[in-house]
Amino acid sequence: MTVQDVGPAPAPRTFFFNDPVIRGIVYQIVVAVILVSFIVWIVGNTAANLAAQNKTTGFNFLWKTAGFDISFTMLPWSRASIYWQALLVGITNTLLVAFLGIIAATMLGFTIGIARLSSNFIISSLATIYVETIRNIPLLLQLFFWYFAVLKTMPAVRDSYELPFESFINQRGIFFPQPQPDAQFVFVWIGLALAIAAVVALRIWARKRLEATGKRFPVFLSAVAILILLPTIIGLLTGANVVFDPPVLERFSFRGGVQLPPEFLALLFGLTIYTASFIAETVRGGIQAVSHGQTEAAQSLGLKEGDRLRLVIVPQAMRVIVPPLTSQYLNLTKNSSLGAAIGYPELVNVFSGTALNQTGRAIECIALTMLVYLCFSLLTSVIMNWYNARVSLVER
C-alpha cells in the first residue's frame, strides 16, 4: 500500500479586520473623517451665527485706522495708525519684555541654582527660601505686588528719587538719558560685529589649542578686551560721537531722555524673579545629575572649585538642563500676556483687547494672536534644540 505525500495544509482564512496593519489604517481613516467633519461643522456653525448677527469676516480691518493711543511703544504710533501697526506694536512690546526677561531670569536662575548647592549654610538656606517662596506664589499676585505695592508707591514726579547718571525714578517709571549717535557711529556698530566674529574665532582656536596641548588660554579676558577696544579704536579713527539727552524736570513731567513705564518694569521684574526660581531648580537638578566621580577626577587634576564647576560640571550638566530650560523660556514668553492685568501694552492687551473691542473681529484677532505666540514658541524651540544638540554627549 502506498502513502500519498500530502503538502502542508493551507492556513485558515481569517477576517481581514484581524490584520493589525489593516486595522490601523481603518482607525486612522475613521479618526480623520471625524476630525474633518468636526472642523466643517465648527466652520459652518460659526459662519451661520455670524450671518445671523449681520457680522462680516476677513482681515481687511487691518488696513483701517485704529484711532486709539498706546502708552508705551518702540515703534512710531499715533491715533492715525492702522490696525496692523497695532499688531506690530504688540509683538515688539512682547518680544522686548520676553527677551530681557529670558536673559535676566537665566542669569539669576543659574546663580540661585548654584547657590543652593553651596557648602555655605547661609547662602544655601537663602537660596532655598527664595526658590520655595517665589515659585509657590502665583505670578499674577507677584505682578500686582511689584506694580501696586512697589512702583506705584514711589514719590510723585517733582519728588523723584535721583539715581546715578542723571536718572530718576518715580510713580511714572524710570527716566534715564537717551543716547543720540551721529552718522559716523555706524562704523562703531561694524566694529562691534567684527569684534564678535573675532571672539567666536578666538574661542574656537582656544578650544583646539586646549585639546592639542592641554594649555588654557584666557578667552574671557581676551574677549572682553576685544569687544571694548576694537569698537573704541574704530570710533576714534572715524570720529564717531554719541551725545546723551538727559531727562529734564518740567512742571508736570520730565522732558527728553527715555522713560520705562511702571507697567513694563513690574512685568519684567515679576517674570524674571518668578521664572528664575524654576530655572534655579533646573540648574540644581542638572548639576546633581553629573556623577560625583567627575568632581573627584577634577579635584585630582588640581582644579580649583570655580574651575571644576565651569570646565567640568556645568558643561556636562547642560545636557540635562537645556530641555526643561526651553520650557521655562516658553512659559516666560507666554506668561507675558499677564501684563494686560497691569496695563502693559503687550500683544494680548493691544490686539486681542483694544483692537478686538473696537473692530468686533474676535475670530481674526484671536487667530492672529495665537499664530504669533505659536511662531514665538516654535522659534524658541528651534534655537534651543539646536543648542541642545551642540551640548549633548556624542558617542564615540
Q: Give the mean pLDDT of 279-294.
A: 86
Assign domain 83-182+241-391 one CATH number from 3.50.50.60, 3.40.50.720, 3.40.50.150, 1.10.3720.10: 1.10.3720.10
- The cell numbers describing 95, all together, are 518680544
**Phi then psi dihedrals of residue 278, to 5 deg:** -75, -40
Mean pLDDT over each residue of the chain, to the nearest integer: 85
Is the pLDDT at 351 greater than 50? The verdict is yes
**Is the CA virtual torsion 9, 13, 18, 21 positive or negative?**
positive
Residue type at position 128: T
Q: Which of 226-230, 295-299, 335-339, 363-367 has the lowest mean pLDDT?
A: 295-299
Is the pLDDT at 393 greater than 60? The verdict is no
Compute the CA torsion angle 332, 95, 197, 203 (nearest 10 deg).
0
SS3 53: coil
Classify each residue of 268-301 as buried b or exposed e, where b means 16 or more C-beta atoms within 10 Å of its C-beta: bbbbbbbbbbbbbbbbbebbeebeeeebeebeee
Domain boundaries, the chain: 16-52, 83-182+241-391, 183-240
| Tens of pLDDT, residues 5-42 | 555 655 555 556 667 777 778 888 989 999 998 888 88
Select the more confidently predicted residue: 165 or 88: 88
Strand spans (E) along the chain: 161-163, 167-170, 173-176, 178-181, 242-245, 248-249, 254-255, 258-260
What pLDDT is recorded for position 7? Answer: 54
The share of the chain scoring above pLDDT 70, in percent, equals 92
| Tens of pLDDT, residues 109-141 | 999 999 998 888 999 999 999 999 999 999 999
Q: What is the DSSP string of 100-148?
A: HHHHHHHHHHHHHHHHHT-S-HHHHHHHHHHHHHHTTS-HHHHHHIIII
| Tens of pLDDT, residues 303-323 | 777 777 777 777 888 888 888
Q: Which of 91-95, 265-269, 295-299, 352-356 has the lowest mean pLDDT?
A: 295-299
The C-alpha atoms of residue 125 and residue 54 are separated, in whole angstroms, by 63
Q: Give the mean pLDDT of 321-330.
A: 91
- The cell numbers describing 120, all together, are 555655605
What pLDDT is recorded for position 395? Answer: 46
The C-alpha atoms of residue 201 and residue 194 are separated, in whole angstroms, by 11
The share of the chain scoring above pLDDT 90, in percent, equals 34
> From the CA atom positions of the chain, what is the Rg in Å?
30
| Tens of pLDDT, residues 209-227 | 877 877 778 888 888 888 8
CB 333 within 8 A of CB 94: yes
**151-155, 273-277, 319-323: range with highest mean pLDDT:** 273-277
**Is the CA virtual torsion 230, 236, 237, 241 positive or negative?**
positive
What pLDDT is recorded for position 307? Answer: 72
Q: Of the candidates 126, 116, 112, 70, which has an alpha carbon nearest to the alpha carbon of residue 93?
A: 70
Q: Give the mean pLDDT of 168-173.
A: 90
Q: Give the mean pLDDT of 84-113.
A: 94
Pairing of β 178-181 and β 173-176: unpaired
Q: Give the mean pLDDT of 365-393.
A: 87
Residues forming a β-bridge with 161: 169
| Tens of pLDDT, residues 99-114 | 999 999 999 999 999 9
